[in-house]
Amino acid sequence: MTDIATRRATFRTLHADGCFILPNPWDAGSAKRLERLGFKALASSSSAAAWTLGLTDHEITIEQILDHLTRLCAATDLPVNADFESGFADTPEGVAANVTRAIGTGISGLSIEDQWNDGLYPLDAALERLAAARAAIDASGEDVILVARTEAYLNGINNVDFVIERLTAFAGAGADCLFAPGMTNLQEIAATVTAVAPKPVNVLIMNPEMRVADLAAAGVRRISVGGALAAAAWRGFDMAAAALAEQIA
């Protein structure tokens, strides 16, 4: 197995230039399959992890996510980026403590989002929480990438200026990479890349019209798919199981 420090250094290098795809496994088996296909890094999906436990998105607990991340990191030699939701804590101090625990699972990156109940944290509160995550990573002495996410588009705030304001502030608070899942317009994506440069941007593929080559040309550094691979696998399971169930006398 490749040691953790090497994985983290590799992940840092991937963020320096170019564009790479960061697919999202949902268990050890899917992580191993993605590694065999030649991907350079992986990312967890909290929704996909929840589905493996019979839960819905955002129902997974801190203990369950830490167990999930430990299993993913043990299953592959590739760097793993953690979908860490909003830090699984109400306070900045709690976020910091949980980030420290997440680093111990062997992850090479970690995302913190600004989701709060059915909306977003006020910007000052989101910045405090992100700063706490940054401080926890720095205190650990480990080279873990900090990704800052705004869930604006996923909450119906389809305003690129709002998103850029948040992501720019997050970059200033110490985020290494910026992410606004739900953004699909190529011009808005390119504007976001320019606004936060030289910090890299992650984009989530949301539909078949979003092409890797186009996103790379717009300056996107990393491209992920969230729970899409897991959802596709579950759809196949449901179809096969339904066909079997139809044969019950």
Which stretch of DSSP H or E encloses residue 178? strand 177-179
What pLDDT, on the 0 to 100 scale, is given for residue 249?
A: 62
Residue 40 main-chain phi, psi, to 5 deg: -95, -20
Q: Where are the beta strands (DSSP E) in 186-231?
A: 201-204, 222-224
CATH topology (fold) of 4-245: TIM Barrel (3.20.20)
Instruction: Name residue, tokens 């909306």.
Output: 119
Which band of pLDDT confidence, cut at 50, 70 and 90, is reported for residue 2? Answer: confident
Domain parsing of the chain, residue ranges: 4-245
Read off the amino acid at residue 123.
Answer: L
- The DSSP bridge partners found for residue 81 are 43, 109
Question: What does the block give as tokens for 50?
Answer: 């929840």
Q: How many CB atoms lie within 10 A of CB 1?
A: 11
Which pLDDT score, from 0 to 100, does residue 218 have? 98
Beta partners for residue 203, in sequence order: 223
- The CA-based angle 140-15-62, given to 5 degrees, is 45
Residues 6 or more apart whose CB falls under 8 angstroms from that of 121 comprise 86, 114, 115, 129
pLDDT tens by residue, 3-16? 999 999 999 999 99
pLDDT band at 163 (very low <50, low <70, confident <90, very high): very high
> Tell me: the pLDDT tens digits for 30-54?
999 999 999 999 999 999 999 999 9
DSSP string, 11-70: HHHHTTSS-EEE---SSHHHHHHHHHTT-S-EE--HHHHHHHTT--TT---HHHHHHHHH
What is the model's pLDDT at position 208?
A: 93
- What pTM, to 2 d.p., does this model score? 0.95
- Which amino acid is it at 23? P
Tokens of 151: 């869930």
Under a CB-based contact definition with an 8 Å cutoff, are residues 75 and 34 in contact?
no
Burial of 175 (0-12, 13-18, 19+ CB in 10 A): buried
Say whether the peptide bond before residue 23 is cis (omega within 30 degrees of 0). Answer: no
Q: Tens digit of pLDDT for each residue in 78-93?
A: 999 999 999 999 999 9
Q: What phi-psi label fits residue 236: left (phi over 0), alpha (psi between -120 and 50 degrees) or beta? A: alpha
